[in-house]
Amino acid sequence: MAKIKPSKGAPYARIMGVGGYRPTRVVPNEVILETIDSSDEWIRSRSGIATRHWASDEETVTAMSLEASGKAMADAGVEPHQIGGVIVATVSHFQQTPAVATEIADRLGTVKPAAFDISAGCAGFGYALTVAKGMITDGSAEYVLVIGVERLSDLTDLEDRATAFLFGDGAGAVVVGPAQEPMIGPTVWGSEGDKSDTIKQTVPWTDYRDGTVERFPAIRQEGQAVFRWAVFEMAKVAQQALDAAGITADDLDVFIPHQANMRIIDSMVKTLKLPDHVTVARDVETTGNTSAASIPLAMERLLATGQAKSGDTALVIGFGAGLVYAATVVTLP
């Protein structure tokens, strides 16, 4: 039997740079109230959201990704030709094939990298980051570009009182590269498919194509069920990620949860008993829920505003449709 040579990857991986892009149009709650019977006070009390960004026709999934990726590569000091992998986490790129990652990779000027998309909803960034880490330590790439990008305004039913105010658009990207010490911890991830009906697309694309339904498919969710699951079950997953990394809540500097809902974030902080010194990302207030883009966008804003700094230890966790989840501890770039 022939022996396979061992991989010659880096011992560990790290996030080297981060970039973000938010569409220019800022949409306040007053715009949402034009199509649903609600109030600004109700939206803020239920979600913590005051504004969100919606993309124009020119701010496509590709265009937003290119903007965020350029900033991430500049922040990391990595040139396009050094990128060996491009992974895009998204649920709102409507061309089934080819993967949008291939177009992004080409337009960035990379040289024949592995390029593919991941569909894991709001946990997509965590899934993509974990795959990128494996590529670095396996030796199949020296640097990997991870992008979370969404145009959820395309999947929002503005007449659905339960979801019309939730979603926003944007792109966040990070460059993952080699490290000589652990800077991305073990990932605690998984799925609970028995709960898939709690967040889902209203109908398959084929129903719209065939004329079975007249309304374009949109995202629906059972708010209370999702809230309970996120607060109680995802707090457990977050704790497992801390345990897997060998640290405690006291060792944390930053907490970056998926920006789904301010009440969920605050409840998780309480359940995890995070100390007062831990900076908590609350980007949802002005960005809304951007699914796979929410964690890198929140990370970028914390670093840009000085609320977090390079070298800080951060717990990140994404969770959503599937239901799927992914949590890990990282060192901020």
- If one counts every other C-beta atom within 10 angstroms of the C-beta of residue 316, the result is 29
3-state class (DSSP) for residue 118: strand
Place of tokens 């019977």: 37
In total, the chain counts a number of residues equal to 333
Give, in order, the Cα–Cα distances in Å from 107 to each of 103, 104, 153, 206, 243. 6, 5, 25, 31, 40
* Residues recognised as catalytic: 122, 258, 289
Q: Where are the alpha helices (DSSP H) in the chain?
A: 29-32, 40-47, 61-76, 100-108, 124-138, 205-209, 223-228, 234-245, 262-272, 284-287, 294-304
**CA–CA distance, 92 with 169 (Å, rounded to integer):** 10
pLDDT tens string for the chain (333 positions)? 898 988 889 999 999 999 999 999 999 999 999 999 999 999 999 999 999 999 999 999 999 999 999 999 999 999 999 999 999 999 999 999 999 999 999 999 999 999 999 999 999 999 999 999 999 999 999 999 999 999 999 999 999 999 999 999 999 999 999 999 999 999 999 999 999 999 999 899 899 899 999 899 999 999 899 999 999 999 999 999 999 999 999 999 999 999 999 999 999 999 999 999 999 999 999 999 999 999 999 999 999 999 999 999 999 999 999 999 999 999 999
**CA–CA distance, 71 with 50 (Å, rounded to integer):** 26
Residue-wise pLDDT for 194-243, tens only, equals 999 999 998 998 998 999 998 999 999 998 999 999 999 999 999 999 99
* pLDDT for residue 159: 96
- If one counts every other C-beta atom within 10 angstroms of the C-beta of residue 13, the result is 26
Question: pTM of this prediction?
Answer: 0.97
| Both tokens assigned to 280 | 């908590």
* pLDDT for residue 6: 81
**CA–CA distance, 312 with 183 (Å, rounded to integer):** 10
For the chain, the 3-state helix, strand and coil shares in percent, each to the nearest 5, are 40, 25, 35
**CA–CA distance, 317 with 333 (Å, rounded to integer):** 17
Q: What angle do CA 309, 133, 150 make, to 5 degrees?
A: 75
| Both tokens assigned to 209 | 């194509």
Which helix or strand (DSSP H or E) is residue 139 part of? Answer: none
